């Protein structure tokens, strides 16, 4: 996934099915509406960068989702 190779995500979509992908996306912090269609693996729905950061961080956090915290450098 780090290299954005669509064949990998398409293969996984075919193996687990669109409904399962939507279910896991929700468990990984995606709150945007997602259609349970095969093209979901190609990015057919809009998802915020904030949501994507949280979802991808689940992979490096041993499968545990944690809420993304935004730190503002020049917060006053």
User: How confident is the model over 51-67, as pLDDT tens digits?
Assistant: 988 898 888 888 888 88
d(CA 27, CA 2): 20
d(CA 9, CA 28): 16
pLDDT over threshold 90, residue 73: no
| For the chain, domain boundaries | 6-60
d(CA 61, CA 70): 17
d(CA 52, CA 44): 14
pTM above 0.85, yes or no: no
Tokens of 76: 């006053």
């Amino acid at each position: 996934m780090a290299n954005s190779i669509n064949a990998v995500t398409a293969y996984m979509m075919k193996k687990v099915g669109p409904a399962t992908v939507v279910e896991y996306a929700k468990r990984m912090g995606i709150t945007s509406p997602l259609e349970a269609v095969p093209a979901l693996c190609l990015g057919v729905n809009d998802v915020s960068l904030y949501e994507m950061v949280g979802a991808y961080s689940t992979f490096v956090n041993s499968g545990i989702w944690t809420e993304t915290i935004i730190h503002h450098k020049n917060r006053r």
